[in-house]
């Protein structure tokens, strides 16, 4: 089974800037875990849901196309919907923003149907230190490339984390594709 799929140019640098602008038009909210539980030892970040931002529809349209293509090429999962809004996360050095090891499948009604996760690198990699997206599909760790606009897709059950940001700010875009339970 393939552990991840990369789309090197999912979004242009200008599009990454626009996504960050759309997300930060209004104040971001403190990020929680599945079930709206907050635990800053596990996750320290701020988020915006793009479906709550006027003018962000084009982002969702692009995501649908990218996820469909990647799923056909690499995963062949039974995907039926995008039951959650795209999420922009901000990990800032002032809070040592991070997200410890976790999988994206949770106990919530929607979270338990997550099958495929896509994370897009929105920030210029030279603008921050730390904030590395790491995947642990088995016994080893895979480090996602930090190229701006690149998408990394992986099964939602794969353990992954974002290491603490020690300088600057990392922005990322995450979406989950949903479907019936794995068999």
CATH number at residue 18: 2.60.120.620
Residue 109 counted as domain residue:
yes
- pLDDT tens, position by position, 44-62: 899 999 998 999 999 999 9
CB neighbourhood size of 54 (10 A)? 7
Per residue in 130-147, pLDDT (tens digit) is 999 999 998 889 999 999
Task: Judge whether 121 lies within some domain.
Answer: yes
Closest CA to 21 of 54, 61, 43, 45: 54
What's the pLDDT at 104?
Answer: 93
CB 80 within 8 A of CB 114: no
User: Domain range for residue 56?
Assistant: 5-32+43-178
Mean pLDDT score across all residues of the chain = 92
DSSP-assigned letters across all residues of 10-40: SS-HHHHHHHHHHHTSS--EE---TTS---T
Domains identified in the chain, total number: 1
Q: What percent of the chain has pLDDT over 70?
A: 93
pLDDT bucket at 101, cuts 50 / 70 / 90: very high
Cα separation, 97 vs 120, in Å, equals 17
pLDDT for 141: 94
- Is 9 a domain residue? yes
Determine, yes or no, domain membership for 47: yes
Specify if 127 maps to a domain. Answer: yes
* Residue 20 falls inside a structural domain: yes
């Amino acid at each position: 089974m393939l552990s991840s799929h990369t789309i090197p140019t999912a979004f242009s640098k200008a599009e990454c800037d626009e996504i960050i602008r759309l997300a930060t038009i209004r104040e971001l909210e403190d990020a929680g875990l599945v079930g709206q539980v907050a635990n800053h030892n596990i996750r320290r970040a701020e988020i915006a849901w793009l479906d709550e931002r006027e003018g962000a529809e084009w982002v969702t349209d692009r995501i649908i196309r990218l996820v469909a293509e990647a799923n056909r090429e690499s995963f062949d999962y039974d995907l039926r919907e995008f039951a959650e809004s795209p999420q922009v996360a901000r990990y800032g050095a002032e809070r040592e923003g991070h997200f410890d090891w976790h999988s994206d499948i949770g106990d919530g009604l929607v979270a338990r149907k997550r099958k495929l996760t896509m994370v897009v690198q929105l920030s210029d990699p030279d603008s921050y230190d730390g904030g590395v997206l790491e995947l642990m599909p088995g016994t080893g760790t895979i480090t996602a490339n930090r190229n701006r606009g690149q998408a990394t897709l992986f099964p939602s059950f794969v353990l992954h984390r974002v290491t603490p940001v020690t300088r600057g700010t990392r922005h990322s875009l995450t979406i989950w594709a949903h479907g019936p339970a794995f068999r």
